[in-house]
Amino acid sequence: MARIFCVANQKGGVGKTTTTVNLAAGLARVGKKVLMADLDPQGNATMGSGVDKRQLPHSIYDVLLGSCGIAQARVTSEKLASAGFGYDILGANRELAGAEVELVAVERRERRLREAIVAVEADYDFILIDCPPALSLLTLNGLCCAHGVIVPMQCEYFALEGLTDLVNTIKQVRANMNKELAVIGLLRVMFDPRITLQQQVSEQLKSHFAEKVFDTVIPRNVRLAEAPSYGLPGLVFDPASKGAQAYLAFANELVARLATL
Ligand code: ATP
Ligand code: MG
């Protein structure tokens, strides 16, 4: 059965999508079967996996509204598969922005994704969900079906403040909707060791969250930022780059960590 993880942080632009697509590619690279589910109407993880969000026959929107199953909606990317990093993609586009409103009248609206995932869980080792930058009904759908949350964060002053809201939301979801939900770990991203403040916040994180902080640190690396414009995760675009190597190390750290749980 698949391990299901949300990549979440309600702060915008902190590296959620970059982490999701590169982790998906890294896990695929080490032989895992992976589904990447894009739960963000921006569709960045879809585009960044080489799938045109404007051309999707079905998307995660249809799945949430119940008009089709994941097996029907998932797609593959030829670019990724031919490079040896193939993972399945449950894509998203602007249509998904409407789901929030349309789901209001629907019963068990926060469990729509959970109910749909059951049918494909056995097909994968990992299902990674890229969440939008909000603690919204969409994110709630992700948290309700996940075993754990991976939280990418930049080591900046306000990062810690936002973390409290996220941790509280996770606690509430665990208490009311999904007993299994755990914080898998905090991933330091876009890290620049030359900046003293970043080092300080990194130390604070470690002293406060201890082993919940992943050992792997993702550096700020321009190749990771360039990759999406080619419709590729950085790991596929330039496997030798420092950013790609860090994400591959992160995939391996995650697999090793899960083996000890
Ligand atoms: P949103 O909240 O809008 O969904 P996000 O949290 O998914 O954003 P990303 O889209 O992954 O964040 O990253 C924000 C920007 O930072 C992007 O332009 C991305 O290419 C860039 N970026 C992410 N990680 C790195 C990195 N390690 N080094 C350099 N640039 C990065
Ligand atoms: Mg994103």
Q: How does pLDDT run across 152-184, given as a tens digit for each residue?
A: 999 998 878 888 889 999 999 999 999 999 999
Q: Give the per-residue pLDDT at 34.
A: 98
**What ligand 1 atom has the least distance to the C-alpha of 246?**
27
CA distance 237 to 245: 12
> Which ligand is in closest contact with the Cα of 243?
1
Structural class in CATH, domain 3-259: alpha beta
Note the helical H segments in the chain: 16-29, 44-47, 60-65, 70-73, 78-82, 96-102, 112-117, 137-145, 159-176, 196-209, 222-226, 234-237, 242-259
- Cβ-based burial of 174 (10 A; exposed 0-12, middle 13-18, buried ≥19): middle
pTM, to two decimals: 0.97
Q: Give the per-residue pLDDT at 22.
A: 98
Q: What is the mean pLDDT of the chain?
A: 95
CA atoms within 13 A on the CB side of 6: 29
Q: Give the strand order in the sheet containing 148-153.
A: 75-76, 88-90, 34-38, 126-130, 3-7, 148-153, 182-191, 213-219
Q: For a pocket test of ligand 1, which of 18, 20, 187 has the largest count of ligand atoms closer than 8 A to its C-beta? A: 18
Q: Give the per-residue pLDDT at 161.
A: 82
- Low-confidence spans in the chain with pLDDT less than 50: none
Q: Give the per-residue pLDDT at 31.
A: 94
Establish whether residue 40 lines the binding site of ligand 1, counting it when its CB lies within 6 angstroms of any ligand atom. yes
Q: Give the per-residue pLDDT at 104.
A: 87
Q: Give the per-residue pLDDT at 1.
A: 86
CB 147, CB 1: distance < 8 Å:
no
Q: For a pocket test of ligand 1, which of 17, 21, 49 has the largest count of ligand atoms closer than 8 A to its C-beta? A: 17
Q: Give the per-residue pLDDT at 158.
A: 81
Percent of the chain with pLDDT over 70: 100
Bridge partners (DSSP) listed for residue 148: 5, 182
CB 85, CB 236: distance < 8 Å:
yes
- Pairing mode, if any, of strands 3-7 and 126-130? parallel
Radius of gyration of the chain (CA): 17
